């Protein structure tokens, strides 16, 4: 081990309460789980520390944990010029502290900075924008507050940004990350318009989770995301309407928009046409009105469909009977009427994951093993209603 780096590792280990490391004369050679070294580029003898990891990630990945006596991240990390990865998982949470500004001094060499569930308080230091070589920045599950510094926009090669489960606020800075694949801002207090600039970064994006914030305004600017697999914008304050078409999102497997107060918006008949990979569509609790688009029944790949808690009316489209992969369907607490177009096979396949209760007036054909399920939800047999179901509904309501 390079002698200066050896000393730095001792300092870092001591600061985290791992004094035992000082009895190891050559940390790179007699290495523990959680330190990685590589030789000089020129093939010379010295080994350099490239990765340090702390925290009990899982039962079989036991990196050194932090001691209970006020552990800290030592400034000695800046004396590891080859460091590419710094990883702390639930290590410093017993001694809440700010993310140290000196981490910015690691400069363009650092690729991964993971400070997950690590008890950090205060703001995200502007200096992290100096880590211009970062590919992964993961600050999930801390107690960070304040705004995201615009300096992060300098990190042009960022592939994954996870700031989820903090108390970050303000609008997201108008920056873009040209090769970003994962953007997770879930569970903060971000407000203002959706971060369109970040979302139009490029077609590298695979996963976007902005749920559980206070984003407002309309949903737009998503059409270029042709490789996107997951889009979760749920539980924000997005209003307006759904775009007429989301068909640019050809790879999308999960679209989750629940809990946005789209008061009175209707679902455009064509909104979901062409989403040929969609497995999960969740539009619960959005105050949607009007009929359910027939075209949803053409999403043959759907496994989970939730439209509950809306003011959707009319009948369940016949086309739903073609959703042969569906394992969960929630249409409860709407204003639906008329016969349920499902076969007994579909009803028993979904079992308790078929939810139809609390509608204006649905009824079912009856006469099969599905009777118990329907009756438990208070859905009557159509032939027990006098005359046409919709007439009966008017009488009931």
Ligand X SMILES: *[C@@H]1O[C@H](CO)[C@@H](O)[C@H](O)[C@H]1NC(C)=O
Taking the least distance from each CB to ligand X, the nearer of 105 and 176 is 105
**Distance (Å, rounded) from C-alpha 314 to C-alpha 326?**
21
Taking the least distance from each CB to ligand X, the nearer of 189 and 294 is 294
**Distance (Å, rounded) from C-alpha 230 to C-alpha 239?**
20
According to CB under 6 A, which one of 71, 100, 119, 129 is a site residue for ligand X?
A: 129
**Distance (Å, rounded) from C-alpha 228 to C-alpha 216?**
22
Least Å from the CB of residue 313 to ligand X: 4
According to CB under 6 A, which one of 81, 109, 240, 290 is a site residue for ligand X?
A: 290
Least Å from the CB of residue 55 to ligand X: 27
C-alpha distances in Å from residue 85, one per residue of 50, 53, 131: 6, 8, 12
Interacting span for ligand X (CB under 6 A) from 8-16, 123-131, 227-235, 247-255 = 123-131
Write out 247-310 in H/E/C secondary structure: CCCCCCCEEECCCCCCCCCECCCCCCCCCCCCCEEECCCCCCEECCCHHHHHCCCCCEEECCCC
| CB-based burial, 274-287: b 16+ in 10 Å, e otherwise | bbeebbbbbbbbbe
Interacting span for ligand X (CB under 6 A) from 61-69, 124-132, 163-171, 366-374 = 124-132
Q: Which string of x and - marks every residue 317-356 that binds ligand X (by CB under 6 A)?
A: ----------------------------------------
Q: Is residue 268 involved in binding ligand X (CB under 6 A)?
A: no
Least Å from the CB of residue 123 to ligand X: 12
Nearest CA among 189, 94, 93, 101 for reference residue 141: 93
Q: Are 269 and 292 in contact (CB under 8 A)?
A: no
Least Å from the CB of residue 100 to ligand X: 13
Taking the least distance from each CB to ligand X, the nearer of 292 and 323 is 292
According to CB under 6 A, which one of 130, 213, 284, 295 is a site residue for ligand X?
A: 130
Q: Which residues contact 111 (CB under 8 A, 6 or more apart)?
A: 84, 85, 133, 134, 135, 136
Taking the least distance from each CB to ligand X, the nearer of 129 and 212 is 129
Q: Is residue 34 involved in binding ligand X (CB under 6 A)?
A: no
Least Å from the CB of residue 331 to ligand X: 15
**Which residues are bridge partners to 363 per DSSP?**
339
According to CB under 6 A, which one of 151, 164, 186, 234 is a site residue for ligand X?
A: 151
Q: Which residues contact 46 (CB under 8 A, 6 or more apart)?
A: 1, 2, 39, 40
Q: Is residue 289 involved in binding ligand X (CB under 6 A)?
A: yes
How many residues bind ligand X, per CB under 6 A?
11
Q: Is residue 75 involved in binding ligand X (CB under 6 A)?
A: no
Least Å from the CB of residue 178 to ligand X: 20
Q: Is residue 201 involved in binding ligand X (CB under 6 A)?
A: no
Q: Is residue 313 involved in binding ligand X (CB under 6 A)?
A: yes
Taking the least distance from each CB to ligand X, the nearer of 104 and 297 is 104
Helix, strand or coil, per DSSP, at residue 361: strand
According to CB under 6 A, which one of 67, 133, 217, 314 is a site residue for ligand X?
A: 314
Q: At which residue do the structure tokens 């050809």 appear?
A: 250
According to CB under 6 A, which one of 19, 126, 203, 318 is a site residue for ligand X?
A: 126
Q: Is residue 269 involved in binding ligand X (CB under 6 A)?
A: no
**Distance (Å, rounded) from C-alpha 191 to C-alpha 238?**
10
Q: At which residue do the structure tokens 């909104």 appear?
A: 271
Q: Is residue 142 involved in binding ligand X (CB under 6 A)?
A: no
Interacting span for ligand X (CB under 6 A) from 65-73, 122-130, 192-200, 214-222 = 122-130
Taking the least distance from each CB to ligand X, the nearer of 298 and 390 is 390
Q: Is residue 53 involved in binding ligand X (CB under 6 A)?
A: no
The burial class, CB within 10 Å (0-12 / 13-18 / 19+), for 383 is exposed
According to CB under 6 A, which one of 55, 64, 104, 361 is a site residue for ligand X?
A: 104
Q: Are 315 and 297 in contact (CB under 8 A)?
A: no
What distance, in Å, lies between the first and last C-alpha atoms of the chain?
80
**Which residues are bridge partners to 160 per DSSP?**
136, 182
Task: Tell me which residues touch ligand X (CB under 6 A).
Answer: 104-105, 126-127, 129-130, 151, 289-290, 313-314
């Amino acid at each position: 081990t390079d002698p200066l780096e050896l000393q730095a590792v001792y300092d870092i280990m001591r600061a985290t309460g791992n004094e035992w490391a000082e009895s190891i004369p050559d940390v790179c050679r007699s290495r523990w789980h959680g330190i990685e070294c590589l030789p000089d580029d020129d093939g010379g003898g010295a080994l350099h520390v490239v990765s340090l990891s702390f925290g009990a990630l899982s039962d079989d990945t036991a990196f050194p944990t932090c001691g209970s006596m006020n552990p800290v991240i030592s400034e000695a990390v800046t004396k590891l010029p080859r460091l590419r990865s710094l990883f702390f998982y639930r290590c410093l949470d017993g001694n809440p502290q700010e993310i140290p500004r000196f981490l910015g001094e690691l400069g363009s060499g650092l690729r991964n900075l993971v400070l997950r569930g690590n008890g950090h308080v205060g703001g995200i230091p502007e200096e992290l924008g100096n880590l211009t070589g970062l590919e992964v920045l993961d600050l999930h599950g801390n107690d960070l507050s304040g705004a995201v510094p615009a300096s992060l926009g300098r990190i042009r090669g960022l592939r994954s940004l996870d700031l989820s489960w903090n108390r970050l606020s303000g609008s997201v800075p108008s920056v873009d990350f040209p090769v970003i694949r994962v953007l997770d801002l879930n569970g903060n207090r971000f407000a203002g318009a959706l971060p369109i600039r970040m979302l139009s970064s490029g077609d590298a994006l695979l996963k976007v989770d902005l749920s559980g914030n206070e984003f407002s305004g309309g949903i737009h600017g998503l059409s270029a995301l042709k490789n996107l697999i997951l889009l979760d914008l749920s539980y924000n304050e997005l209003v307006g309407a759904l775009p007429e078409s989301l068909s640019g999102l050809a790879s999308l497997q999960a679209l989750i928009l629940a809990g946005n107060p789209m008061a009175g918006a209707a679902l455009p008949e064509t909104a979901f046409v062409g989403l040929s990979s969609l497995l999960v569509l969740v539009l619960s609790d959005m105050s949607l009105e009007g009929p359910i688009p027939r075209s949803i029944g053409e999403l043959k790949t759907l496994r989970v469909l939730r439209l509950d808690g809306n003011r959707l009316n009319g009948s369940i489209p016949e086309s739903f009977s073609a959703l042969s992969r569906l394992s969960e369907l929630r249409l409860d607490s709407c204003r639906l009427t008329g016969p349920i177009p499902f076969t007994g096979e579909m009803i028993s396949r979904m079992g308790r994951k078929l939810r139809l209760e609390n509608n204006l007036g649905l009824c079912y054909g009856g006469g099969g093993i599905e009777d118990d399920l329907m009756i438990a939800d208070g859905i009557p047999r159509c032939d027990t209603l006098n005359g046409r179901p919709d007439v009966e509904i008017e009488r009931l309501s």
